[in-house]
């Protein structure tokens, strides 16, 4: 029986290599370890390929400002799926009035999607991820987080949240491209560096 390396298997399945490896580690995809690499049997590729068209996946990617726009493309690339729709926002995660997020809610509520793929939890929302996850689940929709940052120490998570709040409010006060905003964020980062 033929076996594929992860690079070739990810191409055949039209998913990113990090997604493939994560699915192998979680046991979702059967593979054999050969040294430091994995080999995926052809039968597994066929099984996955047949089921893949049944997934209705929406990719949601978000950045806070226009100068991070390149990161949107990186997020979508990591979320390599055959998708129903790709939704993006260039707004703070603290802003609940995001056009892409509103569209996502409509798709979820309308039963048009079975899975929402995001790179990190904070791309969907800065706070209250568990509430959104529970709400989506109540509509039969799974949220798949590609790079799970849940293992952060509570202190690091709080520091990250505080920095997100300062960045958001400084952007509203001074404008996202303002030197005052950038200076204030840098001062807060330096103050929090020891935590």
Write the DSSP string, 87-108: EEEES-TT-S--HHHHHHHHHH
Residue with tokens 């689940």: 137
* 34 three-class SS: strand
Q: In sequence order, which residues have a C-beta less than 8 Å from that of residue 145 and are 6 or more positions away? A: 118, 119, 120, 121
Q: In sequence order, which residues have a C-beta less than 8 Å from that of residue 39 and are 6 or more positions away? A: 3, 4, 5, 31, 32, 33
The residues assigned a catalytic role are 64
Is beta strand 57-63 parallel, antiparallel or unpaired with respect to 83-90?
A: parallel
Decide if 81 contacts 117 (C-beta within 8 A). yes
């Amino acid at each position: 029986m033929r076996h594929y390396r992860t690079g070739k298997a990810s191409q055949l399945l039209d998913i990113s290599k990090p997604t493939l490896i994560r699915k192998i580690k979680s046991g979702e995809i059967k593979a054999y370890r050969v040294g430091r690499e994995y080999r995926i049997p052809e039968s597994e590729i066929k099984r996955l390929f047949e089921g893949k068209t049944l997934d209705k996946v929406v990719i949601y990617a978000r950045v806070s400002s226009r100068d991070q726009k390149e990161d949107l493309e990186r997020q979508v690339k990591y979320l390599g799926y055959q998708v129903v729709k790709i939704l993006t926002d260039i707004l703070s995660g603290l802003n609940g009035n995001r056009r892409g997020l509103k569209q996502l809610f409509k798709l979820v509520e309308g039963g048009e999607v079975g899975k929402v793929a995001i790179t990190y939890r904070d791309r969907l929302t800065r706070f209250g991820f568990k509430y959104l996850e529970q709400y989506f689940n109540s509509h039969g929709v799974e949220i798949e987080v590609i790079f799970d940052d849940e293992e952060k120490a509570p202190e690091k998570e709080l520091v990250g949240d505080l920095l997100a709040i300062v960045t958001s409010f400084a952007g509203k006060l001074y404008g996202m491209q303002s030197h005052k905003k950038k200076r204030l964020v840098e001062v807060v980062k330096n103050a929090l560096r020891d935590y």
